[in-house]
Amino acid sequence: MRWNEPFGEPAMNEQKPSFTVSGNIVDVVAGEIFPGRITVSDGVIQSVERTAGAGNHYILPGLIDSHVHVESSMLLPSEFARLAVVHGTTATVSDPHEIANILGIEGVKFMIRNGQKVPFRFYFGAPSCVPATPFETSGSELDAGALDEMLSWPEIFYLAEMMNFPGVLSGDPEVMAKLALAKKYGKPVDGHAPGVLGDEAARYAAAGISTDHECFTREEAIDKIKAGMKVLVREGSAARNFDELIGLIEEYPDQIMFCSDDKHPDDLIRGHLNLLVVRALKAGYRLMDVLRACTLNPVKHYGLDAGLLQPGDKADFIVIDDPQNFKVYETYIGGRKVAEHGKTLISSVNEEPPNRFNALRLTPEMLRVKAEGNRIRVMQAFDGQLITGSKTVDATIENGFVVSNTGEDVLKILVMNRYTPSEPVVGFITGFGLKRGAVASTVAHDSHNIIAVGVDDESLARAVNMLIETKGGITCADASGSEKAELGLPLQVAGIMSAGDGYKVAEDYGRINLMVKRFGTALEAPFMTLSFMALLVIPELKISDKGLFDGNAFSFTTLFA
């Protein structure tokens, strides 16, 4: 089967007028700032001239997020673009891994086509691990044959994160075949190897893997840099490694890039890479090193055609007050003004939402856990981290069943197959802090099955059934008290993205987030944290629709210790 039909032309290719813009030009290639004038014609920079004076504002290349799953914003690419350009972002290196797990290669094509309908530069990769592991149920599978076809597309710029790092280290034939395909097409390979150090990091890099965004210690990052890899400093809605890793930019400026990885809509409203630039500069790091981490370095590494304010480049640039404040006055992509004074100028796009959903409705009785011992293994969730811990605690048993214990913050967690009617898998988790109610979502990396955490079975069942009614979304419900409360945000596109206006989605998401905080959680981004509790490739203890999973042993384990 062939999938290489034409995708169509990006929205940037429309005819654009000629104009000039003057200011203090930040040349990240030469490493200097000078007063000057830029002449733009038909979306391309024709000339950059030095002038005697240029006022107080600055002109610099648009910012590039070097690794992001657009789907995690719960927005279509076209809506993500509408929000991101306001903050000076003009391009993303985007891994459509999430939708590929649900819809396969058709999902990747959907993301490319939708992204081409707006003036924004989406540089998509070919998802390398669909499904991420054989220990979960996904909606699709992309083998080496599918990757061979995708990597031949000009719209695919790299092989997306190789999450199966045990397969790389053991020389798994299928994994090695995928890496060989990237070499065949001359496209870089993104990595994903949390906690891999020393000789193993060197072997991982030697397999042809060139980046990693999963470093959570300085030691790990340095090992990977010394092995020849680029380290992506990540600051997303759930995983935040900026403070731990930003110091590396001083010693290894050419090896550092900035990324968000996963950004929820309310966070995207507040800012994007611009916030990281300001933080790095306030911490005292050199201006050019900081700016290159989100402009020049990703362009060079991935071979992007995004503009860098050089004659002949595409006219992708932003006008700001000054680098320390980084207030974005205007954003241009391909010579077209796409944002001005905090307002997006990109129009919304209407899409027919694709989906794949066939889940079983829950009853509270289906969530009972019969006591088969007095000690249970409990997942530990940590705010701002994708990794989890594991501990063994005394089970709270009532009438022969293990129940939640809010006093000890031990709550029920479930994962249920969304693709085929199946019974839920139930475990226990600490770190969410709920005192009442439940939260549920079909945004659950990587297979996006239904995941939920709650205090009582009635609230859990209600939150999950709300998802089933809308065929995907995020919900919270408290069915146990006299004052019942519930809120939901439908995600019509594959159960992970909304087809609606991004600003409205962000508002609705914020409202649900606030209700969850009232349920008792202290997590900064509870739904984002929830989404990673089924991410089996990140240690230590996780859960899938097939069982409780030991991420260190990379095998299933038992609830009762």
Strands 336-340 and 328-333: antiparallel
Q: b vs e for 257-291, b when ≥16 Cβ sit within 10 Å of the residue's Cβ? A: bbbbbbbbbbbbbebbbbbbbbebbeeebebbbbb
Q: Which domains does the chain have, with CATH numbers?
A: 17-344 (3.20.20.140), 364-556 (no CATH)
What are the pLDDT digits (tens) for 76-134? 999 999 999 999 999 999 999 999 999 999 999 999 999 999 999 999 999 999 998 89
Supply 269's token pair.
């409203």
Burial class (CB in 10 A: 0-12, 13-18, 19+), 107: buried
| pLDDT above 70: percentage of residues in the chain | 97
Q: b vs e for 395-429, b when ≥16 Cβ sit within 10 Å of the residue's Cβ? A: bbeeeeebbbbeeebbbbbbbbbbbeebebbbbbb
Gap between the Cα atoms of 472 and 474, Å rounded: 7
pLDDT at residue 12, rounded to an integer: 67
Could you give the angle at which helices 144-152 and 173-185 cross, rounded to 10 degrees? 10
| pLDDT above 90: percentage of residues in the chain | 88
Three-class DSSP category at 58 = strand
Supply 106's token pair.
């058709």
pLDDT of residue 498 exceeding 50, the answer is yes
- Is residue 4 very low, low, confident or very high in pLDDT (cuts 50, 70, 90)? very low
Phi, psi of 56, rounded to the nearest 5 degrees: -100, -15
- DSSP string of 322-373, one letter each residue: -TTT--EEEEEETTEEEEETTEE-PPP-----------PPP-GGGG-EE---
| Beta carbons within 10 angstroms of residue 372's beta carbon | 11
What are the pLDDT digits (tens) for 197-250? 999 999 999 999 999 999 989 999 999 999 999 999 999 877 789 999 999 999
- pLDDT (mean) for 289-314: 97
pLDDT at residue 28, rounded to an integer: 98
What are the pLDDT digits (tens) for 137-170? 999 999 999 999 999 999 999 999 998 898 999 9
What are the pLDDT digits (tens) for 18-60? 999 999 999 999 999 999 999 999 999 999 999 987 778 999 9
Mean pLDDT check: name the lowest of 61-70, 118-127, 295-304, 548-557: 548-557
pLDDT of residue 2 exceeding 80, the answer is no
- pLDDT (mean) for 179-206: 96
Q: What's the distance, CA 410 to chain centroid?
A: 28
pLDDT at residue 1, rounded to an integer: 27
Is residue 62 left, alpha or beta, with left meaning phi > 0 and alpha meaning psi from -120 to 50? beta
Gap between the Cα atoms of 211 and 228, Å rounded: 9
**What contacts 297, CB < 8 A, 6 or more positions away?**
66, 230, 254, 256, 257
Gap between the Cα atoms of 218 and 245, Å rounded: 6
Nearest to 124 by CA among 150, 143, 162: 150
What are the pLDDT digits (tens) for 417-471? 999 999 999 999 999 999 999 999 999 988 999 999 999 999 999 999 999 999 9
What are the pLDDT digits (tens) for 316-342? 999 999 999 999 999 999 999 999 999
Question: Distance of CA 176 to CAs 169, 171, 172, 200, 536, Å?
Answer: 10, 6, 6, 16, 21
Specify the pTM.
0.92
Strands of the sheet containing 328-333, edge to edge, are 44-50, 32-41, 19-27, 58-61, 317-320, 328-333, 336-340, 343-344
pLDDT of residue 384 exceeding 90, the answer is no
CA dihedral 94, 150, 108, 154 (to 10 degrees): 60
| Average per-residue pLDDT for the chain | 94
pLDDT at residue 387, rounded to an integer: 87
Outline where DSSP puts E strands in 208-254.
Answer: 211-212, 230-234
pLDDT at residue 47, rounded to an integer: 97
Gap between the Cα atoms of 285 and 298, Å rounded: 19
**Cα angle value 541/543/549 (rounded, 5°):** 55
Phi, psi of 377, rounded to the nearest 5 degrees: -85, 135
> How far apart, in Å, do the first and last CA atoms of the chain sit?
48
Burial class (CB in 10 A: 0-12, 13-18, 19+), 35: middle
Gap between the Cα atoms of 137 and 417, Å rounded: 7
pLDDT at residue 16, rounded to an integer: 67
Supply 550's token pair.
């030991």
pLDDT of residue 292 exceeding 60, the answer is yes
- pLDDT (mean) for 355-374: 96
pLDDT at residue 8, rounded to an integer: 57
Q: What's the distance, CA 559 to chain centroid?
A: 30
pLDDT of residue 480 exceeding 90, the answer is no
Q: What's the distance, CA 6 to chain centroid?
A: 27
- Is residue 482 very low, low, confident or very high in pLDDT (cuts 50, 70, 90)? low
